Amino acid sequence: MPDSSTAAASGTRAVDRAALLVSTVVHADEPLTFAELQETSGLAKSTTSRMLTALERTELLERNGAGSYVAGPLFWLYATRHDPWDELVRLAQPTLEHIGAATGETVNLSVARGDRVVQVAQVDSTYLLGTRDWTEVDVPAHCSALGKVLLAYAVIDLPAGELEQLTPSTVTDPDLLARQLTQVASRGYASTVDELEIGLTGLGVPVRGSSGEVIAALGVSGPSPRLEDRHDEIGRLLNERAEQLSGLLRRRTRKEGVA
């Protein structure tokens, strides 16, 4: 029968191995497969399997839809209580980069903070003529595609009183705006053309959280002439990528996930 010092040493090794696996997953830029974790850690397959099972059971790690390992719900719970958007931005970055490479245009991720729409991540246009840096810029929700997504799904409410008209194309009539917001779900995306700035078009789609609720908006913006005939094409691309991103969030088992 092993003595207490041997048992303590064995317990310490187990903790070290578990910590190594968690650290490897958390620091990775993308989900890791079992084989990648086993190779990186240098642990035996049986040990890796046993450790990963325990880490899933304790919600320190979990598997995504493809079976690869990502940070578990406990990390999300901690993040939402301290900086709720850091983990969302980290997970979304590859999605933004893919959309940017496919379209060449500026890509943004937007969330609601109170009654405001705030851009929390951006990938810049590959064109010399692109759009400005919108991160942390306060944009009226009714004249941006991302804002219209959050309005359409009641993540935020329209401000009381008369809506600001930033350009001649800005929709400020409540009835017309209400019809546009109703169309967002049926069409699959929100759009603005010259409403925020003359010559600027934006397209946006919803990103859903663990319970299916809309928690963010993902969109593309660029010069109106360049995007004029690409609304449906980019709308489909945005929806495909938003669904993949939503899939990373949908498996979260705690209600306190990003919301």
Residue 213: its pLDDT value, please? 86
Distance of CA 135 to the CA centre of its chain: 14
In DSSP terms, which residues pair with 193 in a beta bridge? 201
Residue 48: its pLDDT value, please? 92
pLDDT tens-digit map of 20-69 = 999 999 888 788 999 999 999 899 999 999 999 999 998 899 898 789 99
Specify the CATH number for the domain of residue 35. Answer: 1.10.10.10
Specify the CATH number for the domain of residue 222. Answer: 3.30.450.40
Domain-ending residue, one of 40, 71, 102:
71
pLDDT tens-digit map of 153-198 = 999 888 788 888 999 999 999 899 999 999 998 899 999 999 999 9
Domain-ending residue, one of 42, 71, 100:
71
Residues 52 and 99 in one domain: no
At position 22, the amino acid (one-letter code) is: V
Helix ranges, the chain (H): 4-27, 34-41, 45-57, 73-82, 86-103, 145-152, 174-187, 224-227, 231-250
Average confidence (pLDDT) over 131-148? 77
Is pTM beyond 0.85? Reply is: no
